[in-house]
Amino acid sequence: ETGVTQTPRHLVMGMTNKKSLKCEQHLGHNAMYWYKQSAKKPLELMFVYNFKEQTENNSVPSRFSPECPNSSHLFLHLHTLQPEDSALYLCASSQPGQGALRYGYTFGSGTRLTVV
């Protein structure tokens, strides 16, 4: 285990469903990230949170809604997804600011999402 825990590991949902992905870290990090990993495409940064505040939204459709109630937890709420949203969703955390440069990010194992 890396210290970043993602649940569930696998999720199958219909296009009309509402579900949430959860990410939790107890590394003392204050920056958290959502990435999308699709087959044959580079990792795509979706959202960045620093000290619970969203600092970046990388033009993500509104059917993805992040929530960061505290520095240890990050959620990704999903609703009315499309089949092309099927992917591995990775959560990461890091020290904020220059700490990310020095130590990099710690990733969770991801949630494999299939939209049917």
Partner 1 sequence: AQSVTQLDSHVSVSEGTPVLLRCNYSSSYSPSLFWYVQHPNKGLQLLLKYTSAATLVKGINGFEAEFKKSETSFHLTKPSAHMSDAAEYFCVVNQNYGGSQGNLIFGKGTKLSVKP
Residues in contact with partner 1 by the rule CB under 8 A = 2, 4, 6, 31, 33, 41-43, 45, 48, 50, 56, 90, 92, 96-98, 100-110, 112
Q: Tokens 């092309």 label which residue?
A: 84
CB of 22 to partner 1, least distance (A): 14
CB of 64 to partner 1, least distance (A): 17
Max CA distance (Å), the chain: 42
Q: ∠15-91-32 over CA atoms, to 5°?
A: 120
Q: What is the nearest approach in angstroms of partner 1 to the Cβ of residue 101?
A: 5
- Burial-class residue 112 by CB neighbours within 10 Å (0-12, 13-18, 19+): middle
Which residue lies nearer to partner 1 by CB, 14 or 97? Answer: 97
Tokens of 51: 């000290």
Nearer to partner 1, 4 or 115 (CB): 4
